[in-house]
């Protein structure tokens, strides 16, 4: 065992990976944790793919949360970031999530949020805030290294360590 096959990754999906959608088979076998929402407006691009525009702080995007292994995430990452299925692709990132209790009733209280990985639309450059190119990294590779190096991490520790790593990026266009 190398730590990559253990389900330790909380993933929020909001488009074609959801139940009943055309790419749900990529996530088949993952542990479904329920319906959640995040802050941001669900948008449909000119090409038909969907993304979350984080500039809309009081809008909600509904999705599903799954617990997946790194290997499952690697398959999903191929679809979202590398396959060319979508014009610009998506980057792995982290977003706050809240459990959906009733459609239309959303609370964005930070102290009640959990965090999950999700795929944000690539729509512009990102600043590397510390100004050091060697700090630049691919989130999927950093996550793989983290899980191999520290195999005893729980889901919350994985999220927190990756949140710290992702703080070096600031996206020039705020629509994510």
Per residue in 103-134, pLDDT tens? 999 999 999 999 999 999 887 778 888 888 88
pLDDT value of position 147? 94
Q: What's the whole-model pTM score?
A: 0.90
How many Cβ atoms from other residues are within 10 Å of residue 3's Cβ? 17
- How confident is residue 88, by pLDDT bands cut at 50, 70 and 90? low
Q: What does the alpha-carbon distance between residue 10 and residue 66 come to, in Å, rounded to a whole number?
A: 6
- The CATH code of the domain at 9-171 is 3.10.490.10
Integer Rg of the chain from CA: 16
Least confident range from 1-10, 25-34, 153-162: namely 1-10
pLDDT value of position 173? 60
pLDDT over threshold 90, residue 19: yes
How many Cβ atoms from other residues are within 10 Å of residue 52's Cβ? 27
**pLDDT one-digit tens code per residue, 63-83:** 999 999 999 999 999 888 876
Q: What does the alpha-carbon distance between residue 176 and residue 164 come to, in Å, rounded to a whole number?
A: 19
pLDDT over threshold 60, residue 176: no
DSSP 164: H
Distances 133 to 41, 54, 130 between C-alpha atoms, Å: 32, 26, 9
pLDDT value of position 129? 86
Q: Are 43 and 71 in contact (CB under 8 A)?
A: no
């Amino acid at each position: 065992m190398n730590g990559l096959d253990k389900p330790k990754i909380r993933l929020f999906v909001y488009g074609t990976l959801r139940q009943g959608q055309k790419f749900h088979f990529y996530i088949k076998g993952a542990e479904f944790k329920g319906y959640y929402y995040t802050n941001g407006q669900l948008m449909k691009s000119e090409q038909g793919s969907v993304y979350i525009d984080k500039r809309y702080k009081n809008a909600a995007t509904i999705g599903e949360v799954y617990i997946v292994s790194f290997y499952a995430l690697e398959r999903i990452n191929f679809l979202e970031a590398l396959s060319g299925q979508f014009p610009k692709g998506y980057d792995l990132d982290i977003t706050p999530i809240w459990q959906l209790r009733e459609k239309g009733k959303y609370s964005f209280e930070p102290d009640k949020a959990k965090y999950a990985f999700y795929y944000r639309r690539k729509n512009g450059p990102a600043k590397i805030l510390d100004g050091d190119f060697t700090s630049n990294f691919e989130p999927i590779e950093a996550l793989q290294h983290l899980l191999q190096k520290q195999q005893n991490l729980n889901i919350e520790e994985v999220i927190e360590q990756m949140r710290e790593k992702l703080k070096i990026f600031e996206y020039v266009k705020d629509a994510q």
